[in-house]
């Protein structure tokens, strides 16, 4: 996730080391946006937010190994209900073989 790291490093550089980048720091309601506008780097914030969204759309987080991998590095399959055969969910396995539900 080099691209994501670059985006977050750039954000940290602009916002300062104390910036709260947990969760999605690029939501329009985040403190970071208010700070960016107040400090005159609102355009840079929007550019970083677009890049962040583009990377996150291609990524999946594994809570077991606490890492985020590109979707193409996951093994993904459809899971079907044992009783009625209906499509139940989409499941996946990270490169470290941890399984999680991706979509219900
Ligand atoms: Zn994992």
Distance (angstroms) between ligand 1 centre and the Cα of 97 equals 6
Contact 74, 92 (CB under 8 A): yes
* pTM value > 0.75: no
Nearest-angstrom CA–CA distance, 104 and 90: 6
Per-residue pLDDT of the chain (104 residues; tens, 9 = 90+): 577 788 888 888 888 878 777 777 787 777 888 889 999 999 999 998 888 888 878 888 899 999 888 888 999 999 999 999 999 999 999 999 999 999 88
H or E element, residue 78 = strand 75-80
Helices 42-56 and 2-15: angle between axes, nearest 10 degrees: 160
The CA dihedral of 36, 40, 42, 48, to the nearest 10 degrees, is: -70
Ligand 1 centroid distance, CA of 57 (Å): 18
């Amino acid at each position: 996730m080099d691209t994501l790291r670059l985006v977050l490093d750039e954000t940290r550089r602009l916002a300062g080391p104390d910036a709260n980048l947990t969760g999605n720091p690029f939501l329009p309601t985040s403190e970071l946006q208010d700070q960016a506008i107040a400090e005159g780097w609102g355009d840079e914030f929007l550019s970083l937010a677009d890049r962040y969204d583009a990377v996150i759309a291609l990524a999946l987080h594994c809570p077991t190994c606490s890492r985020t991998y590109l979707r193409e590095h996951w093994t993904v399959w459809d899971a079907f209900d044992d009783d009625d055969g209906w499509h139940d969910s989409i499941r996946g396995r990270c490169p470290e073989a941890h399984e999680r539900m991706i979509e219900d």
